């Protein structure tokens, strides 16, 4: 019967701290399994990725299998019962988690409890110490703070890839065409971490091809909208992407959102942002 190395964690973002945990499972010599949750158990500033994207990133890292637990179904389990369910479902050879992993009813389960459980059953246990950045433990919360402040480049260092989301391109009001900057309009996912409103350098992935972009994320103060939107001018793209789900990678904060007095002022500002992106291209690099 195949033996498993189980990595336990929320893994929201699959950042460098998570990767240290996952690496221990991948390098174990056993079949690696990430056990996580299908949703966040509480509101903590939104998510960094959907479960579907999380599974893609975990498997791309090298995890063999991913199991999503339903939080509502396990949140009231005693720590021992939580572990016993895993123990009896899988032939567990190793369990690995981060230094601050908590589990079970009211988060009563600690890493010390997990260590003792593993020792009693002859399971290898690996508790990964914190990975730090500027003397702070790397965490999903820290990354969300950076994104809240528009610090996309600092967030990328911790995520190892740009923060991104996927959303369908919707029909807009086509105002951008009147100033020679047509945009692809997407609704910013409601359950995602809130980015600082503003204009960003982005990379847009359409049908597997990367393009540089200039994206306004926010409520468009010049022409206000009730929803948080991402409106992207895609450089060197002339196709029709309406109705397509496209990937938007957030590279760098360029400027705050601003209410302009005229379309000419708006056009000049966009032209300056586009000039910067052309000189600092990221697509296909």
Q: Are residues 180 and 261 in the same domain?
A: yes
Instruction: Give residue 62's pLDDT.
Output: 98
Which pLDDT tens digit goes with each residue over 126-181?
999 999 988 899 999 999 999 999 999 999 999 999 999 999 999 865 554 545 68
What is the rounded (10 degree) CA torsion for 211, 213, 217, 219? -110
Q: Are residues 117 and 20 in the same domain?
A: yes
Q: Are residues 118 and 21 in the same domain?
A: yes
Backbone φ and ψ of 264, nearest 5°: -65, -40
What is the count of structural domains for the chain? 2
How is the beta sheet containing 92-98 ordered, strand by strand?
Answer: 65-69, 31-37, 4-8, 92-98, 124-128
Q: Are residues 230 and 184 in the same domain?
A: yes
pLDDT at 238 over 80: yes
Asked if the structure places residue 141 within a domain, the reply is no
Q: Are residues 120 and 171 in the same domain?
A: no
Q: What's 124's domain CATH number?
A: 3.40.50.620
Q: Cβ distance 231 to 216 under 8 Å?
A: yes
Q: Are residues 122 and 8 in the same domain?
A: yes
Range of the domain at 80: 4-129
Q: What's 210's domain CATH number?
A: 2.40.30.30
């Amino acid at each position: 019967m195949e033996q498993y190395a189980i990595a336990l964690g929320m893994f929201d973002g699959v950042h460098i701290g998570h990767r240290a945990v996952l690496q221990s499972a991948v390098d174990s010599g056993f079949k690696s399994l990430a056990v996580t949750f299908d949703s966040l158990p509480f509101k903590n500033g939104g998510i960094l990725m959907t479960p579907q994207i999380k599974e893609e990133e975990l498997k791309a890292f090298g995890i063999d299998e991913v199991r999503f637990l339903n939080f509502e179904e396990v949140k009231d389990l005693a720590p021992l019962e939580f572990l016993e369910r895993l123990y009896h479902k899988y032939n567990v050879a190793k369990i690995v988690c981060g230094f601050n992993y908590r589990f079970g009813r009211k988060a009563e389960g600690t890493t010390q409890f997990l260590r003792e459980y593993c020792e009693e059953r002859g399971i290898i246990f690996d508790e990964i110490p914190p990975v730090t950045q500027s003397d702070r433990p790397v965490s999903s919360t820290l990354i969300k703070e950076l994104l809240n402040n528009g610090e996309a480049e600092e967030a990328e260092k911790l995520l190892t890839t740009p923060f991104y989301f996927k959303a369908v391109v919707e029909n807009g009001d086509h105002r951008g065409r009147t100033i020679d900057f047509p945009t692809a309009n997407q609704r910013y996912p409601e359950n995602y971490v809130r980015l600082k409103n503003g204009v960003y350098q982005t990379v847009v992935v359409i049908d597997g091809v990367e393009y540089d972009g200039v994206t306004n994320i926010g409520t468009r103060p010049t022409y206000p909208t009730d929803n948080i939107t991402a409106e992207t001018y895609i450089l060197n793209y002339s196709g029709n992407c309406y109705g397509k789900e496209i990937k938007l990678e957030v590279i760098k904060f360029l400027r705050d959102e601003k209410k302009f007095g005229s379309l000419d002022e708006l056009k000049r500002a966009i032209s300056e942002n586009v000039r910067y992106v052309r000189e600092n291209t990221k697509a296909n690099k």
